[in-house]
Amino acid sequence: MSAKTREKSAGSQFLELAVIVAIALLLALGIQAFLVKPYRIPSPSMEPTLDIGQRVLVNRIGNRFSDPHVGEIIVFHPPQGADSTLGPKCGAPLQPGQACTRPTSKKSSVNFIKRVVGVPGDHIRIINGHVVRNGKRESDGYINPCSPGEGDCNFPREFVVPKGYYFVMGDNRGASDDSRFWGPVPRAWIIGGAFATYWPPKRIGLL
């Protein structure tokens, strides 16, 4: 084989490798944009289920074909005001002893992760951090319960989750900023369901 032929062959191999790398990167970006997206846990609001710094995978495509269900952990855009101490958090007048029934009208650009505890049409009350859904207390052995007498853990006045909305709460009931304070989340603001954790290695598994 001549030197010129060898150079041509090496050049072809390099071009082929570059094309393969480019395709792999495009596939990875496509998967993240449309199918599965990684998400880092930024706060203790989901402890003990998810710790700060833990990484989860979020199924984005499944959200297009089925609605979230009670018990599912989801990633979503909260309403404007939920991510700030400025401005109103709740989009409806607050009633004594009742959780926020409506979010503000615009969504925030940040992402939150919480657990669905109420779906459209559910009657919701919260007693000592425990969700009473349609008259029955949830089975919630997975939560960090509220401390006795903690003020933000009692919303005994019942309300109905509106059509097209989902009521979400953190598993760390005494340390979670969630639907109790800024209202249920519109279906359109939900990004997808978290289905697995992949970091740290000792916490790898399905959710």
Buried b (16+ CB within 10 A) or exposed e, 12-49: eeeeeeeeeeeeeeeeeeeeeeeebbebebeebbbbeb
Is residue 107 part of the annotated active site? The answer reads no
Instruction: Tell me which of 37, 108, 114, 176 is the catalytic residue.
Output: 114
Instruction: Tell me which of 45, 108, 176, 179 is the catalytic residue.
Output: 45
> Which DSSP letter does residue 89 get?
S
Strands 130-133 and 136-137: antiparallel
Quote the tokens at residue 176. Answer: 């979670």
Is residue 43 part of the annotated active site? The answer reads no
Phi, psi angle pair for 109, to nearest 5°: -85, -10
Q: Which residues are catalytically annotated?
A: 45, 114
